[in-house]
Amino acid sequence: MTSTSTAAAVVEPYIHSVRVRYGEVDMQRVVFNAHYLAYCDDAMDTWLRTIDVSFEAAGWDIMLKKAVLEWQGAAHLSDTIDIAVGVTRWGNTSFDVGFSGRVEDRAVFTATITYVGVATGTRTPTPIPESIRGALGLVPALP
């Protein structure tokens, strides 16, 4: 993984909201930890669909390489978690997406997921198309 590219515009993070459902809390009455990665995956998918990024048209796709989560607080049944999403680092074939989840004014979690770009239908790392860098931008610091 290499240095940050300057080809992407600086953009505001995308905000995705998730309402905590009964089946997502554990016996401690907080969101079970595994659900946070699912929330991040849903936020990423919704963000990409919202800005209509077409990886397929570029002959490019992504695979998750690494995920790091850190909890600052708890989310409970019926809470709405607002998740800020944005690219925080560009490399040659990989990039990091930052996630910052809050319930109202309380920090709940942060996550960084590293994705590797691959040629569609393969696992061969491939440079990130400039059109993708431009569409996703760069969020230097998430709230």
- pTM for this prediction: 0.91
Domains detected in the chain: 14-136 (3.10.129.10)
Residue-wise pLDDT for 117-127, tens only, equals 999 999 999 99
Residue-wise pLDDT for 78-119, tens only, equals 999 999 999 999 999 999 999 999 999 999 999 999 999 999
Kindly report each contact of residues 54-57 with a partner whose C-beta sits within 8 Å and lies 24 or more positions away, as own/partner: 55/120, 55/132, 56/120
Q: How many Å apart are CA 142 and CA 122, to the nearest integer?
A: 32
